[in-house]
Amino acid sequence: MATETSNLMEKLVSLCKRRGFIFQSSEIYGGLGSCWDYGPLGVELKNNIQRLWWQAMVREHDNIVGLDASILMHPRVWEASGHVESFADLMVDCKNCKQRFRADELSSQVCPACGGPLTEARRFNLMFKTHMGPVEDEENIIYLRPETAQGIYVNYLNVMQAYRLKLPFGIAQVGKAFRNEITTSNFIFRTREFEQMEMQFFVQPGSEDEWMEKWKAERWDFYLQLGLNKDSLRFRQHGPDELVFYAKEAWDIEYQFPFGWKEIEGIHNRTDFDLSRHAKYSGKDLSYFDEATRQRFIPYIIETSAGLTRTLLTVLVDAYDEEPERVVLHLHPRLAPIKAGVFPLVRRNGMPQRAKQIYEMLKPHFTVFYDESGSIGRRYRRMDEIGTPFGITVDSQTAQDDTVTLRDRDTMQQVRVKIDALKEELEKRIND
Ligand code: ATP
């Protein structure tokens, strides 16, 4: 049954807190605006998304390698990248209630909160500033990175030389980014601290259109692999008014959230802008010498930039469903934080002992959860609500023929499986 979209977000926030996916940061102190903590299930889910991305981007490509660059970087990086000068939103303040809004998100000339008058629009830089070392003066200003991409550009030479890479090749990175966003809402959709999964693909100028098509197709497939509903996904091309001046072409993959179609990933043709700027600002030669053509040039870059935490919200929204008897997260088994619940049907006749043995047997291979409290129906529902795809139950027949029931979360159907065959059966079903 489809869930009413109007209150879906509220229900999801409540489920995430109640079941340990996501908590508000510093909640016992009243919370910190737009910062969130990932609980036991949230961190498993986030790790699973990240691992699948790494698998799809790095492991499955011979010419893409990984990187983990520092969050704090030389301040010149952000001058070269253009962030110091122009990474800003136009914002307005309400003269009455003092709330601040993004000018491009306002539909009228008055404050949407109190109806009060607004100030003129001003530019507001989104980078968080801090100081490096003990002296807090202008010279020691340093920024928390607002994107992971620059860590890749400034390491392009190091990585290429160390790994003897030839064009085309890519560098992939997952990590935290920080933006002092003015408008934050919709749970973890737009937060001030978040994680990105970015891959920068360096290509010969002239071949970028072909690579753009290839990456658009691969990235689309990735979201299908996560099990997202195809009808809730679409591509949207940036129009001329939206396209940043250095980009030649830009596409967003968007998802239809309860609050509208929104970007989950950007795929951009960034031309030779980034490397040219870093070459200019650092004074280092960042050109590439192509031995086949004996030509020297600055490579073009196709970027695929996805939000890890935003993808996590997407898979939760997509998976949430309410049925008359239960709330269920239809998470793809590969994403599910816990793969199987293990239960004794009742707490007697040796069933708990047998179920615990099975739990111990599976534990090295899967995230499994043992539960013997409450009726079996309630235990199944608790697992459905957190998206656990399989339930394994020891019953009276187990002692006779070494079989258990294996319950499928989505169909709720049960089949009998030999205990010896459980591991293989789970592997097969998870990877199907
Ligand atoms: P938006 O228009 O939503 O602010 P953007 O175009 O600035 O996003 P990019 O700079 O292209 O976003 O960032 C790439 C990806 O990083 C986005 O598609 C999104 O998944 C993620 N992302 C960006 N900003 C945030 C944020 N504040 N919170 C969570 N994820 C974010």
DSSP string, 276-333: HHHHHHH-----EEETTTTEEEPPEEEEEEEEHHHHHHHHHHHHEEEETTEEEE---T
CATH number at residue 376: 3.40.50.800
Same domain, 360 and 290: no
3-state secondary structure of 238: coil
Same domain, 399 and 264: no
Domain housing 390 = 338-431
Per-residue confidence (pLDDT) for residue 5, from 0 to 100: 54
Residue (of 315, 92, 96, 78) closest to 183 by Cα position = 92
Same domain, 383 and 275: no
CB count within 10 Å of CB 224 equals 11
Same domain, 301 and 381: no
Per-residue confidence (pLDDT) for residue 4, from 0 to 100: 55
Question: Whose Cα sits closest to atom 26 in ligand 1?
Answer: 190
Q: Answer yes or no: is the C-beta of 305 below 6 A from any ligand 1 atom.
A: yes
Distance of CA 199 from the midpoint of ligand 1 (Å): 14
The atom of ligand 1 lying closest to the CA of 311 is 20
Same domain, 314 and 187: yes
Residue that is last in its domain, among 290, 318, 346: 318
Contact between residue 256 and residue 2 where contact means Cβ atoms under 8 Å apart: no
Q: Answer yes or no: is the C-beta of 306 below 6 A from any ligand 1 atom.
A: yes
Residue that is last in its domain, among 288, 318, 348: 318
6: exposed, middle or buried (C-beta count within 10 Å: 0-12, 13-18, 19+)? exposed
Same domain, 255 and 347: no
Determine if residue 122 is left, alpha or beta; phi over 0 gives left, psi from -120 to 50 gives alpha, anything else beta: beta
* Residue 115, in any domain of the structure: no
Task: Specify the amino acid at residue 375.
Answer: S
Q: What is the per-residue pLDDT across 188-213, written as a single tens digit (0 to 9) for each? A: 999 999 999 999 999 999 999 999 99
* H helix or E strand, kind and range, residue 250: strand 249-257
Per-residue confidence (pLDDT) for residue 91, from 0 to 100: 83
309: exposed, middle or buried (C-beta count within 10 Å: 0-12, 13-18, 19+)? buried
pTM across the whole model: 0.93
Distance of CA 186 from the midpoint of ligand 1 (Å): 14
Same domain, 259 and 357: no
Tell me which residue has tokens 């160390």: 162
Same domain, 344 and 307: no
CATH number at residue 281: 3.30.930.10
Same domain, 34 and 148: yes
Residue that is last in its domain, among 265, 284, 318: 318
Distance of CA 307 from the midpoint of ligand 1 (Å): 6
Distance of CA 398 from the midpoint of ligand 1 (Å): 51
Per-residue confidence (pLDDT) for residue 1, from 0 to 100: 42
Per-residue confidence (pLDDT) for residue 402, from 0 to 100: 98
* Residue 159, in any domain of the structure: yes
Same domain, 371 and 308: no
Q: Answer yes or no: is the C-beta of 307 below 6 A from any ligand 1 atom.
A: yes
* Residue 47, in any domain of the structure: yes
Residue (of 104, 247, 126) closest to 194 by Cα position = 126
Question: Whose Cα sits closest to atom 22 in ligand 1?
Answer: 307
- HSE value, Cβ hemisphere, 13 Å, CA-based, for 182: 22
* Residue 131, in any domain of the structure: no
104: exposed, middle or buried (C-beta count within 10 Å: 0-12, 13-18, 19+)? exposed
* Residue 153, in any domain of the structure: yes
* Residue 252, in any domain of the structure: yes
Per-residue confidence (pLDDT) for residue 322, from 0 to 100: 96
Same domain, 377 and 263: no
Q: Answer yes or no: is the C-beta of 314 below 6 A from any ligand 1 atom.
A: no
Same domain, 49 and 167: yes
Contact between residue 24 and residue 192 where contact means Cβ atoms under 8 Å apart: no
Residues of the chain with pLDDT under 50: 1-2
Contact between residue 128 and residue 180 where contact means Cβ atoms under 8 Å apart: yes
* Residue 298, in any domain of the structure: yes
Per-residue confidence (pLDDT) for residue 187, from 0 to 100: 94
**In the chain, how many domains are there?**
2
Contact between residue 42 and residue 188 where contact means Cβ atoms under 8 Å apart: no
Task: Specify the amino acid at residue 220.
Answer: W
Residue (of 243, 249, 240) closest to 216 by Cα position = 249
* Residue 82, in any domain of the structure: no
* 254-258 contact pairs (CB < 8 A, 24+): 255/223, 255/228, 255/314, 255/317, 255/318, 256/231, 256/232, 257/186, 257/189, 257/313, 257/314, 257/317, 258/5, 258/6, 258/8, 258/9, 258/317
Contact between residue 337 and residue 308 where contact means Cβ atoms under 8 Å apart: no
